[in-house]
Amino acid sequence: MSQRRAPLADLRRRIDRIDAEIHALLIRRTAVVEKVRDLKKNERVKIRPGREAEIIYRLVRRHKGPFPASELVRIWRELIVATLRFEGPFSVAVYAPHGHGGIWDLARDQYGSFTPMARHDGARAVIRAVAAHHAAVGVLPLPAVDEDEPWWPDLMPNPGNNRARAWIIARLPFAGAGNARGPGIGAFAIAPARPDPSGRDRTCLGLATDGKAGHDAIERAFAKARLGRPDLIGVEDSQASGGFLWLADIPGYVREDDPRLAALAGALGDSFARSAVLGAYAEPLRPADLAPKAKGKRKAKRP
């Protein structure tokens, strides 16, 4: 064997040993997850999106070296979802009519290459599948201004209606779109349970008004209630003549009993009809989160 080949063979043996160590740790991790599965056996909904995001945030913070952080996240997403699948049935309903393949790609990247996924032509069909527990997660396009048939009003609970609900739990893509079709495309994921906080969250709030308060008045009411500046989308309320529904995307994790929601109602006065937390999501990773870590400069030694 040549002198050049000898070091290469040695490096390959070192890689093989490291691979074996990684595999052994994976087996150990799975054994711990099995214990978690046993503790959660009576829970119908197993997914914990806030906890998943916490894991990813921590890994990205401690990551160093030339291995791309985006690929690190991809590996861990597959790992997380693989263990979710053996905790119990796990499938995804995706809004993916003709021409919307990019949403399918985002769903696959977030919820695993081997997870069963069902294609739906309508957003309401996705919501029904999730609310009825026929799918663990649904993936829908991000709401936009001036949509013909927005889906998010269907998440608003109606007074006296105790039908099964679904909540927004994630915003996709979480770590960049990769090679997903449709540059700049985004999606919300929904599930039949409220999301848990991650520490870096935004909340989606549904708000019904009498229609007299416009965009600027709604913004002022949020500021007065100390709920931050909302990203707002408004549509006519089909259930109330002259009424309006607003989707407000606001910073932080807001619960139903947050006193600021009562303050918001007070700030809107007679225009306020009702509000509901429609879900929350961990903030997607920023380019700065995924950028290679700069090597720190060595401190000069004191003479």
74 with 192, same domain: the answer is: yes
The contacts of residue 116 (CB under 8 Å, 6+ apart) are 90, 91, 92
pLDDT, tens only, 117-136? 999 999 999 999 999 999 99
**Cα-based angle 199, 205, 210 (whole degrees, multiple of 5):** 160
Q: What value does the mean pLDDT take over residues 37-42?
A: 80
The DSSP secondary structure of the chain, one letter per residue, reads: --TTHHHHHHHHHHHHHHHHHHHHHHHHHHHHHHHHHHHTTT-S----HHHHHHHHHHHHHH--SSS-HHHHHHHHHHHHHHHHHHHS---EEEE--TT-HHHHHHHHHHH-TTS-EEEESSHHHHHHHHHTTSSSEEEEEPP-TT-SS-SGGGGSPPTT------EEEEEE-SS--TT-SSTT--EEEEESSPPPP-SSEEEEEEEEE-S-S-HHHHHHHHHHTT--PPEEEEEE-TTSTT-EEEEEEEES---TT-HHHHHHHHHHGGGEEEEEEEEEEEPPPPHHHHSPPPPPPPPPPP-
19 with 47, same domain: the answer is: no
**Predicted local distance difference test score (pLDDT) of residue 78:** 95
247 pLDDT more than 80: yes
At 302, the pLDDT band (50, 70, 90 cuts) reads very low
**For residue 67, with 0-12 CB atoms within 10 Å meaning exposed, 13-18 middle and 19 or more buried, which class applies?**
exposed
Q: Return d(Cα 152, Cα 157) in angstroms, integer.
A: 11
**Which region among 6-10, 131-135, 201-205 has the lowest average model confidence (pLDDT)?**
6-10
Q: Return d(Cα 187, Cα 30) in angstroms, integer.
A: 30
User: Is the pTM above the cut of 0.85?
Assistant: yes
111 pLDDT more than 50: yes
The contacts of residue 11 (CB under 8 Å, 6+ apart) are none
Task: Judge whether 289 lies within some domain.
Answer: no
192 with 111, same domain: the answer is: yes
47 with 189, same domain: the answer is: yes
56 with 23, same domain: the answer is: no
pLDDT, tens only, 258-278? 999 999 999 999 999 999 999
Using the 3D structure, point to which of 139, 170, 199 is the last residue of a domain: 199
- Domain of 19? 9-39
From 65, 66, 49, select the one nearest 57 (Cα to Cα): 49
Based on the structure, what is the number of domains in the chain?
3
**Cα-based angle 224, 210, 235 (whole degrees, multiple of 5):** 90
Q: What value does the mean pLDDT take over residues 47-62?
A: 96
pLDDT, tens only, 142-167? 999 988 899 999 999 876 555 668 99
Task: Judge whether 301 lies within some domain.
Answer: no
Calculate the CA 280 to chain-centre distance. 8
**Predicted local distance difference test score (pLDDT) of residue 161:** 57
Task: Judge whether 290 lies within some domain.
Answer: no
178 with 111, same domain: the answer is: yes
Using the 3D structure, point to which of 175, 199, 223 is the last residue of a domain: 199
Q: Which amino acid is at 219?
A: E
178 with 232, same domain: the answer is: no
150 with 118, same domain: the answer is: yes
Q: Are 128 and 213 in contact (CB under 8 A)?
A: no
Task: Judge whether 291 lies within some domain.
Answer: no
Task: Judge whether 292 lies within some domain.
Answer: no
162 with 59, same domain: the answer is: yes
Task: Judge whether 295 lies within some domain.
Answer: no
Task: Judge whether 2 lies within some domain.
Answer: no
Instruction: Count Cβ neighbours within 10 Å for each residue of 127-145 and write b for 16 or more, e otherwise.
Output: bbbbbeeebbbbbbbebee
Q: Return d(Cα 34, Cα 57) in angstroms, integer.
A: 23
Task: Judge whether 24 lies within some domain.
Answer: yes
